[in-house]
């Protein structure tokens, strides 16, 4: 692309970086390619490269920008005062949804019956999700929830059996119509009420039996993606908190009594609508046993947490790629930024963080792939999902700020993607279980399955043997988790657990970089700023060359 367009009489435009567009977002990312291969996805390189080229195109980037500049609008009423309860989206949002559905981001880990698809389907989908998150995050909310809802619907085989033929298609059908008449469907989730999000036991929304179905009355304070075709909703039934399948249309074809009050005015995630909603005797069918609502919906939540970690890692990857692209083209004091030793120190330290994050999320997805037939992998999934969500999602905002700064002032303006990424980053830590809640979840997994957790810690010790700081970290984690005042130390111990698991995952992909990561993160406490580490110039070059050839 020409960087000098003769459009100004006063000056020429030069020394600006070209847009980071029309690239293959998969193949240009060696740490991702190698992590996918290391965890079972080597044979699908071609499919992932095609996905990477498509999502890396300028046309997809434009859709991402348009969907966020033209935010969804609630149409609560028509001109005559009748309720409509519809949300209108810009066409770019629908196009993003259609492209995501077309490649199976919302269902490819399930077979046609809603059973795990097997093989490396989790790793392969995660690679796509990682790439898609680099282009647009908001639309991935309903995509994630649809994929994850299937795990909760498994508790209610009749609902799973009737919805799966529609969920399993790769069509996106945005029409406002009953789900059973559509070519494809999406699902959302309603748990959080005004008086409590973490503590869902405090839900006040009521469910009253009505024949084989229920009538739900109450509210939800956050319910995202309100144009989903159905929601999994928590409400209090006679036997306690229960999970319900609440469609937008009742079985007689009438619009269900789901009344949207407002859309949230959010910091980021602006292409996605998040509603405040009331249910006025809304029709719903029970999912799982009455009184077992948390146990049922947690199956869904494990998967949305996994996606939060993948998406945050993808956001950081995008920040790094844009920063590197800029630094290789922008000259300051007669030298490219990428050749200035101090910028190299910053970028290579960031590259190391992303490389570890990519390896770690792919390792986690490998556990999701293996867990139906391997109890150790199931234990890894339960212990590490909250730890990984905690560490990766909470590290993303600071990382993206640093990436933005690498572009100087251009990083801060809305025409570039980094300002949007920066505003998007905190939500993955806040929703689906905020930071402290993730730490408490790790403690819960430890207390409920102490033996399994201990064997995971032993395996991590074995996989990181001899690496700097690894043995001390294992001892520290073991001791911290045994203490009665474990909650007080939980953040310290959970972060260390995630770092240790990162070293183990990276050791499977590239041992030299596992050693670097261990030396700068386990053997020493990493400084609060990127680049404040002592990496040798050969290692810095290798990290940057791998990050973007």
- The interface region with ligand FAD, picked from 52-60, 194-202, 505-513, 526-534 by CB under 6 A, is 194-202
Contact 529, 398 (CB under 8 A): no
According to CB under 6 A, which residues from 507 to 546 bind ligand FAD? none
Cα three-residue angle 166-168-174, rounded to 5 degrees: 50
**Toward ligand FAD, which CB reaches closer, 36 or 191?**
191
According to CB under 6 A, which residues from 204 to 233 bind ligand FAD? 222-224
Q: Quote the tokens at residue 152.
A: 């909760």
Q: Cα–Cα distance between 287 and 234 in angstroms, integer?
A: 10
Does 192 contact ligand FAD by CB under 6 A? Answer: yes
- The interface region with ligand FAD, picked from 190-198, 384-392, 399-407, 450-458 by CB under 6 A, is 190-198
**Toward ligand FAD, which CB reaches closer, 148 or 427?**
427
Does 304 contact ligand FAD by CB under 6 A? Answer: no
Q: Which helix (H) or strand (E) holds 513?
A: helix 511-521
CA distances for 357 relative to 130, 343, 390, 456, 483, angstroms? 11, 21, 12, 19, 29
Give the nearest distance from C-beta 273 to ligand FAD in angstroms. 10
Q: Cα–Cα distance between 209 and 511 in angstroms, integer?
A: 58
Using CB under 6 A, pick the residue from 89, 172, 283, 431 that binds ligand FAD.
Answer: 431
Q: Which residue's structure tokens are 């290798």?
A: 542
Using CB under 6 A, pick the residue from 427, 467, 477, 542 that binds ligand FAD.
Answer: 427
**Toward ligand FAD, which CB reaches closer, 153 or 544?**
153
Q: Which residue's structure tokens are 């499977």?
A: 508
Give the nearest distance from C-beta 310 to ligand FAD in angstroms. 17
**Toward ligand FAD, which CB reaches closer, 223 or 543?**
223
Using CB under 6 A, pick the residue from 19, 119, 196, 281 that binds ligand FAD.
Answer: 196
Give the nearest distance from C-beta 266 to ligand FAD in angstroms. 5
Q: Count H helices, E strands: the chain?
A: 19, 11
**Toward ligand FAD, which CB reaches closer, 436 or 455?**
436
**Toward ligand FAD, which CB reaches closer, 187 or 509?**
187
Q: Quote the tokens at residue 50.
A: 């095609």
DSSP tag of 464: T
Report phi then psi at 292, rounded to 5: -110, 35
Give the nearest distance from C-beta 123 to ligand FAD in angstroms. 26
Q: Cα–Cα distance between 165 and 172 in angstroms, integer?
A: 13
Q: Cα–Cα distance between 414 and 357 in angstroms, integer?
A: 26
Does 191 contact ligand FAD by CB under 6 A? Answer: yes
Neighbours of 3 (CB within 10 A): 12
Contact 520, 349 (CB under 8 A): yes
Does 41 contact ligand FAD by CB under 6 A? Answer: no
- The interface region with ligand FAD, picked from 123-131, 254-262, 436-444, 468-476 by CB under 6 A, is 436-444
Give the nearest distance from C-beta 274 to ligand FAD in angstroms. 4
Does 203 contact ligand FAD by CB under 6 A? Answer: no
Give the nearest distance from C-beta 429 to ligand FAD in angstroms. 9
Does 357 contact ligand FAD by CB under 6 A? Answer: no
**CA 123 to chain CA mean position, Å:** 14
Q: Quote the tokens at residue 513.
A: 């970089």
Which among 322, 389, 313, 368 is positioned nearest to 131, based on CA atoms?
313
Does 274 contact ligand FAD by CB under 6 A? Answer: yes
Per-residue binding letters, 241-270, with ligand FAD (x by CB under 6 A): -------------------------x--x-
Beta bridge partners of 518: none
**Toward ligand FAD, which CB reaches closer, 437 or 459?**
437
DSSP tag of 260: E
Give the nearest distance from C-beta 394 to ligand FAD in angstroms. 11
**Nearest residue to ligand FAD, by Cβ distance, number only:** 197
Does 437 contact ligand FAD by CB under 6 A? Answer: yes
Query: What burial letters (b/e) apply to 69-85, b meaning 16+ CB within 10 Å?
Result: ebbbebeeeeeeeeeeb
Mapped to the 3 state alphabet, what secondary structure does 297-324 carry? HHHHHHHHHHHHHHHHHHHHHHHHHHHH
Does 134 contact ligand FAD by CB under 6 A? Answer: no
Give the nearest distance from C-beta 243 to ligand FAD in angstroms. 12
Number of residues engaging ligand FAD in binding (CB under 6 A): 22
CA distances for 51 relative to 44, 47, 311, 348, 430, angstroms? 11, 6, 16, 27, 29
Query: What burial letters (b/e) apply to 412-434, b meaning 16+ CB within 10 Å?
Result: eeeebbbbbbbbbbbbbbebbbe
Does 198 contact ligand FAD by CB under 6 A? Answer: yes
**Toward ligand FAD, which CB reaches closer, 228 or 418?**
228
Using CB under 6 A, pick the residue from 40, 64, 319, 435 that binds ligand FAD.
Answer: 435
**Toward ligand FAD, which CB reaches closer, 382 or 389?**
389
**Toward ligand FAD, which CB reaches closer, 490 or 500?**
490
Q: Which residue's structure tokens are 């009420």?
A: 193
Give the nearest distance from C-beta 335 to ligand FAD in angstroms. 42
Q: Cα–Cα distance between 149 and 374 in angstroms, integer?
A: 23
Q: Quote the tokens at residue 460.
A: 């991590």
Does 143 contact ligand FAD by CB under 6 A? Answer: no
Residues that bind ligand FAD (CB under 6 A): 188-192, 196-198, 222-224, 266, 269, 274, 427, 430-431, 434-437, 440
């Amino acid at each position: 692309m020409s960087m000098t367009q003769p459009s100004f009489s006063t000056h020429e435009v030069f020394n600006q970086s070209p847009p980071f567009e029309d690239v293959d977002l998969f193949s240009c990312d060696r740490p991702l390619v190698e992590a996918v291969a290391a965890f079972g996805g080597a044979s699908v390189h071609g499919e992932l490269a095609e996905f990477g080229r498509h999502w890396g195109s300028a046309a997809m980037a434009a859709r991402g920008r348009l969907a966020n500049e033209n935010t969804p609008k609630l149409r609560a009423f028509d001109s005559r005062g009748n309720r409509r309860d519809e949300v209108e989206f810009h066409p770019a949002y629908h196009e993003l949804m259609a492209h995501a559905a077309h490649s199976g981001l919302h269902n490819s880990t399930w077979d046609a019956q809603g059973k795990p698809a097997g093989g490396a389907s989790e790793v392969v989908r995660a690679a796509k999700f990682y790439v898609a998150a680099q282009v647009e995050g908001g639309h991935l909310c309903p995509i994630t929830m649809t994929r994850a809802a299937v795990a909760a619907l498994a508790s209610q085989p009749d609902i799973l059996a009737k919805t799966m033929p529609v969920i399993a298609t790769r069509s996106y059908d945005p029409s406002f119509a009953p789900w059973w008449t559509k070519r494809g469907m999406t699902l959302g989730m309603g748990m959080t009420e005004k008086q409590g999000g973490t503590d869902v036991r405090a839900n006040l929304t009521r469910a009253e039996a009505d024949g084989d179905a229920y009538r739900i009355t109450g509210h939800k304070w956050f319910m995202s993606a309100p144009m989903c075709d159905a929601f999994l909703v928590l409400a209090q039934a006679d036997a306690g908190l229960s999970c319900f399948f609440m469609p937008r249309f009742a079985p007689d074809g009438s619009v269900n009594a789901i009344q949207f009050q407002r859309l949230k005015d959010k910091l980021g995630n602006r292409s996605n609508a998040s509603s405040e909603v009331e249910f006025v005797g809304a029709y719903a069918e029970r999912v799982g046993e009455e009184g077992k609502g948390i146990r049922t919906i947690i199956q869904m939540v494990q998967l949305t947490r996994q996606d939060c970690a993948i998406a945050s890692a993808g956001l950081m990857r995008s920040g790094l790629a844009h920063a590197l692209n800029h630094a290789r083209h922008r000259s300051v004091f007669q030298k490219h930024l990428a050749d200035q030793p101090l910028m190299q120190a910053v970028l290579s330290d960031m590259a190391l963080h992303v490389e570890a994050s990519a390896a770690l999320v792919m390792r986690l997805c490998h556990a999701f792939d293996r867990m139906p037939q391997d109890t150790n992998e199931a234990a890894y999934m339960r212990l590490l999902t909250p730890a990984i969500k905690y560490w990766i999602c909470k590290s993303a905002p600071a990382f993206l700020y640093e990436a933005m700064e690498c572009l100087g002032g251009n990083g801060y303006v809305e025409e570039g993607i980094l300002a949007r990424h920066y505003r998007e980053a905190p939500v993955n830590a806040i929703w689906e279980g905020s930071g402290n809640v993730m730490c408490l979840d790790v403690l819960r997994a430890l207390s409920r399955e102490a033996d399994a957790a201990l064997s995971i810690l032993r395996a991590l010790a074995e996989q990181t043997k001899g690496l700097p700081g690894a043995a001390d970290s294992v001892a520290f984690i073991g001791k911290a988790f045994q203490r009665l005042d474990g909650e007080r130390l939980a953040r310290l111990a959970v972060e260390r657990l995630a770092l240790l698991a990162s070293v183990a995952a990276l050791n499977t992909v590239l041992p030299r970089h596992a050693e670097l990561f261990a030396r700068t993160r386990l053997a020493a406490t990493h400084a609060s700023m990127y680049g404040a580490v002592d990496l040798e110039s050969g290692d810095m070059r290798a990290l940057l060359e791998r990050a973007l050839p």
